[in-house]
Chains A and B, each alone.
Chain A
Amino acid sequence: MPVRVKRTRPNRNLATPFAILGLLSAVLAGAPARAERLIVSVSNHRVTVTPNYSGGELVLFGSVEKDATAPPGRGSYDLVVTVSGPRADMVTRRKERRFGIWINTDSRQFLQVPGYLALFANRPFDEIASAEVQRRQQLGLNNVLLMQRVGPDFADVVPNDAFRSAFVRLRSEHGLYREATSAVTFLTPTLFRTGIPLPAEVPIGIYTVEIKLFSDGALVTKTETAFEIVKVGFEQFVATTARQDGLIYGLVTAFMALMTGWMASIVFRKD
């Protein structure tokens, strides 16, 4: 039986200090970097998912605009794209053998974590920036902040924590969490594109796309865009009704059941 060693790093990633840190780094990085500007667009800002939707792909295009103040020596850029879907609370449970059977024993609550999370880059994160910058800029699934309730504390834990890695692994198996360090392609030194794959069970809602430009291991500038995934058609109507008007939905379903049964007794009536 695996013994869980809780190795939390309290305060390391608490929301407030982190936000200040982020703001600070943005200001610091942003000040001299007015020279570059990111212009991006996704191929479709509103993706409609129909009942027979079996996955698809969005394309993100963009270019790095340089003005005269850009340092001339700065040649190569690195790009990291983070796509995060609608957030929700989730629980990861672990089964253990008790009395000879496998039952859920331990659990960990993940608070307001993205339902879809994808990180794309043009080369491995280790080559883009130092470990410190990777952590600060949340580059890679290991560095993205996944807030959890750990005892009385709210914190993220080390990447190899059993629950955190199981959570990321399970989400990845469904194509909902992914990391690809060769997904961003520079068509010219300043023009880039990347695909955003969306699996069949993609959650509906607003998706934010954050694009960060790095050069020589430091953040140069960043920008954000968004797209929306909406489910359309009969199935979405059914799902919405089931959630909002449970009584009517139940009545209709029950009536449907009775009608089907009645029809069957007429169709197959022997006498």
Chain B
Amino acid sequence: MQLYLPIADIPVNVFLILAMGAAVGFVSGMFGIGGGFLMTPLLIFIGIAPAVAVASVASHIAASSFSGAISYWRRRAIDPLLAAVLLTGGTIGTAMGVWTFTYLRSLGQLDLMIALSYVILLSTVGGLMFWEGLRAMLRVRRGGAVMLRKPGSHGWIHGLPLKMRFKRSKIYLSVIPVVVVGLVIGFIGAIMGIGGGFILVPLMIYLLRVPTATVIGTSMVLTLVTMVFATMLHAMTNHLVDAVLALILMIGGVTGAQFGARAGQKIRGEHLRLLLGLLVLAVGIRFAIELVIQPQDLFSIRESGGGGPP
């Protein structure tokens, strides 16, 4: 069934978009991430303008993280105070991200920046995850103890002032690194059309030493709010949010996520990290190839000025 997307300005097959939403939803449910880093590239590959893809996926991630956040809230696995501090940074970061997005778009270098940031971020994060997963797997195979957190080790992070007690997470931490982490995630989220869960979770675990019990739920709250905010800002400044596209993605995504979550429980943690690392790395490499090989067409046309799609 063909459907015309009002903002993306192209006709698409509804079932293709639904299937993509479900597939990405499955992966995101399995790994407990938003899946934006898969969704945005997929949309770009089927011919949707990168700017529209980034802006529309923001609302899709808002939907999936909201349903996730609700179930974590029921299980009391969210630290409200930590979420609030993260959000302070997240909101500023998102606003800066949308502003940068608009600026790059006026320069005509937005597509390049989206592609470049995907290459750099995904290959780095994917490579690290893969490496970490591989090492953990080897350790388990050798029968050694898995040590994710060295007890009693205090990095420079813990020497910072403005300390605060986050009761539910049972940590005593300076607000500065928390705000900075939120800011970074909000910024890259707005530019790349990702929730940033796959970066945020490792950052919270390894950098902020947040216990795993509250990590995913709290990160989902941050993702939710930054993505709602990003949707609003993208809609107001660039008029690029395709609500029809977003709705189809959401329906596919939330359904797929349920099955993904069930599948994820059957796989061992280090295997899961290894797989996720491989997946992230693959998307990064896909973008790198796109940049390096000669494009089929060296020329491109964009309407300049006015509100229409770029």
Interface set of A (CB-CB < 8 Å, partner B): 51-54, 88-97, 100-104, 107, 109, 163, 166-167, 169-171, 200-201, 235-236, 238-239, 242-243, 246-247, 249-254, 256-258, 260-265, 268-269
Query: In the complex, A94→B300 CA distance in Å?
Result: 7
Find out whether the CB atom of B63 lies under 8 angstroms from the CB atom of A94. Answer: no
Find out whether the CB atom of B241 lies under 8 angstroms from the CB atom of A94. Answer: no
Find out whether the CB atom of A88 lies under 8 angstroms from the CB atom of B246. Answer: no
Find out whether the CB atom of A257 lies under 8 angstroms from the CB atom of B62. Answer: yes
> What are 23 A-to-B residue pairs whose CB atoms are below 8 Å?
A52-B2, A88-B305, A91-B302, A91-B303, A93-B299, A102-B298, A104-B109, A169-B299, A201-B10, A235-B5, A236-B6, A238-B7, A239-B7, A242-B239, A249-B235, A249-B241, A250-B232, A256-B246, A257-B231, A261-B64, A261-B250, A264-B63, A264-B254
Tell which of B67, B234, B303 has the most Cβ of chain A within 10 Å: B67
Find out whether the CB atom of B4 lies under 8 angstroms from the CB atom of A53. Answer: yes
A238 proximity list for chain B (CB < 8 A) = 6-7, 243-244
Distance (whole angstroms) from the CB of A2 to the closest CB of chain B = 8
B234 proximity list for chain A (CB < 8 A) = 250
Distance (whole angstroms) from the CB of A92 to the closest CB of chain B = 5
Smallest Cβ-Cβ distance to A167: which chain B residue: B301
With A170-B300, A250-B231, A257-B60: A104-B246 Cβ-Cβ less than 8 Å: no
Smallest Cβ-Cβ distance to A2: which chain B residue: B298
Distance (whole angstroms) from the CB of B75 to the closest CB of chain A = 10
Distance (whole angstroms) from the CB of B18 to the closest CB of chain A = 13
Q: Which of B15-65 contact A (CB under 8 A)?
A: 59-60, 62-65
Distance (whole angstroms) from the CB of B91 to the closest CB of chain A = 14
Q: Which of B179-212 contact A (CB under 8 A)?
A: none
Choose from A52, A107, A254 the contact partner of B62 (Cβ within 8 Å): A254
A92 proximity list for chain B (CB < 8 A) = 299-301
Query: In the complex, A167→B233 CA distance in Å?
Result: 32
Q: How many A-B residue pairs have CB under 8 A?
A: 184
Q: Which of B99-120 contact A (CB under 8 A)?
A: 108-109, 111-112, 116
Query: In the complex, A246→B236 CA distance in Å?
Result: 4
Find out whether the CB atom of A250 lies under 8 angstroms from the CB atom of B236. Answer: yes
With A109-B304, A238-B244, A253-B243: A51-B3 Cβ-Cβ less than 8 Å: yes
Find out whether the CB atom of B244 lies under 8 angstroms from the CB atom of A54. Answer: no
Q: A102-B298, A265-B67 given; name 4 further pairs at CB < 8 Å.
A: A93-B301, A236-B6, A261-B65, A261-B250
B159 proximity list for chain A (CB < 8 A) = none
With A52-B4, A90-B304, A250-B231: A260-B251 Cβ-Cβ less than 8 Å: yes
Choose from B67, B236, B301 the contact partner of A262 (Cβ within 8 Å): B67
What 10 A-B pairs have minimum CB-CB distances, sorted nearest first?
A250-B235, A261-B66, A264-B254, A166-B299, A261-B67, A246-B236, A257-B62, A239-B6, A250-B232, A257-B63
Distance (whole angstroms) from the CB of B78 to the closest CB of chain A = 14
Find out whether the CB atom of B6 lies under 8 angstroms from the CB atom of A95. Answer: no
B283 within 8 A of A: no
Q: Decide if the interface of chain B is mainly helix, strand, loop or mixed.
A: helix
Choose from B116, B246, B300 the contact partner of A253 (Cβ within 8 Å): B246
Find out whether the CB atom of A247 lies under 8 angstroms from the CB atom of B236. Answer: yes
Choose from B4, B64, B302 the contact partner of A235 (Cβ within 8 Å): B4
Interface set of B (CB-CB < 8 Å, partner A): 2-7, 9-11, 59-60, 62-71, 108-109, 111-112, 116, 227-228, 231-237, 239, 241, 243-244, 246-247, 250-251, 254-255, 257-258, 291-295, 297-308
Query: In the complex, A54→B12 CA distance in Å?
Result: 11
With A90-B302, A104-B108, A239-B7: A254-B239 Cβ-Cβ less than 8 Å: no
Query: In the complex, A249→B111 CA distance in Å?
Result: 24
B306 proximity list for chain A (CB < 8 A) = 88-89
B304 proximity list for chain A (CB < 8 A) = 89-91, 109
Smallest Cβ-Cβ distance to B227: which chain A residue: A257
Query: In the complex, A253→B251 CA distance in Å?
Result: 14
A166 proximity list for chain B (CB < 8 A) = 298-299
Smallest Cβ-Cβ distance to B290: which chain A residue: A102
Distance (whole angstroms) from the CB of B186 to the closest CB of chain A = 16
B291 proximity list for chain A (CB < 8 A) = 101-102
Find out whether the CB atom of B239 lies under 8 angstroms from the CB atom of A261. Answer: no
With A170-B297, A242-B6, A258-B63: A252-B243 Cβ-Cβ less than 8 Å: yes
Smallest Cβ-Cβ distance to B251: which chain A residue: A260
Query: In the complex, A263→B66 CA distance in Å?
Result: 10
A109 proximity list for chain B (CB < 8 A) = 304
Find out whether the CB atom of B301 lies under 8 angstroms from the CB atom of A95. Answer: no
Find out whether the CB atom of A260 lies under 8 angstroms from the CB atom of B247. Answer: yes
Find out whether the CB atom of A254 lies under 8 angstroms from the CB atom of B231. Answer: yes
